[in-house]
Homo-oligomer: A and B are copies of this chain.
Amino acid sequence: MPIGFAHSPYRATSEIPKGCGAKHDAEGVIEILPEFAAGLADIEGFSHIFLIWEFDRSDGYELFGKPPIDDQPHGVFATRSPRRPNPIALTVVELLRREGPRLHVRGMDMLEGTPILDIKPYLSSVPEEKLRRGWIAEAEARRK
Residues of A within 8 A of B (CB): 1, 3, 32, 36, 38-50, 52, 63-64, 73-80, 84-86, 88, 90, 92, 117-128, 130-138
Contact = CB atoms under 8 A, between A and B. Distances in A.
A77 B44 contact: no
A25 B64 CA distance: 31
Which 7 A-B pairs rank lowest in CB-CB distance, beginning with the nearest?
A45-B134, A41-B75, A125-B125, A47-B132, A39-B63, A77-B119, A39-B76
Q: How would you classify the secondary structure of chain A's contact residues: helix, strand, loop or mixed?
A: mixed
Contacts of A128: 124-125, 127
Given A38-B63, A131-B47, A120 B86 contact: no
